[in-house]
């Protein structure tokens, strides 16, 4: 939660968490470290379709090669490159990614992260306009969920023109 707050984002949606009371658990609140309002305001949905209602750009996240199972062939894009092109509204570039420029005008972005252990399901990936993959060592590309959220949130913040936290 702190990572989301650190990058300036405060909306959190959980889809069918195993523990429906996860946001009110003392251990989770302690780990939120000053971002308790993100937990308090988190929304829990029973389906991904419900959670995506009102969004117009849906980005899945993951690694091209699942460590525990074979993945369908998909194209993964560098988050920073994708976000910059999305906000520029470059027609040719957005056609390449399969997202229309109309969406780029008033972006209501959804970033979907799968479970820590198995990542996103194929059916969840099918609902995404684009799949984002953080460039990592091709022989061991696994990141834990918190690290992946932090890196992609940072790239989105930079694309939005986020400024440095300190200094002139």
Which structure tokens are listed for 60? 């899945």
Using alpha carbons, list the distances in angstroms from residue 57 to 70, 110, 113, 114. Answer: 26, 6, 14, 17
Please list the pLDDT of the chain residue by residue as tens digits (168 residues).
Answer: 444 555 677 788 999 998 889 888 899 888 887 788 888 888 999 999 999 999 888 999 987 665 555 666 788 889 998 888 888 776 666 666 665 555 456 788 899 998 887 888 889 999 998 999 888 877 776 788 888 988 999 998 888 887 655 444
Alpha-helical runs (H) found in 89-134? 91-97, 101-105, 122-126
Q: By the 8 A CB rule, do 12 and 42 touch? A: yes
Q: By the 8 A CB rule, do 159 and 86 touch? A: yes
The predicted pLDDT at position 104 comes to 55
The predicted pLDDT at position 2 comes to 40
Q: By the 8 A CB rule, do 58 and 129 touch? A: yes
């Amino acid at each position: 939660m702190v990572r989301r707050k650190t990058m300036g984002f405060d909306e959190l949606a959980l889809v069918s968490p195993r523990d429906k009371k996860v946001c009110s658990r003392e251990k989770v609140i302690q780990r939120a470290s000053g971002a308790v309002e993100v937990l308090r305001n988190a929304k829990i949905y029973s389906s991904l379709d419900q959670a995506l209602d009102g969004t117009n750009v849906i980005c899945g996240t993951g690694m091209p090669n699942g460590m525990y199972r074979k993945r369908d062939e998909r194209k993964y894009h560098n988050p920073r490159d994708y976000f910059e092109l999305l906000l520029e509204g470059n027609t040719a570039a957005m056609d390449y990614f399969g997202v229309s420029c109309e969406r780029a005008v008033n972006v209501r972005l959804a970033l979907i992260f799968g479970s820590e252990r198995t990542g996103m399901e194929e059916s969840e990936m099918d609902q995404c306009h684009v799949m984002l993959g953080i460039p990592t060592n091709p022989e061991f590309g696994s990141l834990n969920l918190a690290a992946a959220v932090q890196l992609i949130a940072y790239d989105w913040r930079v694309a939005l023109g986020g400024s440095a936290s300190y200094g002139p």
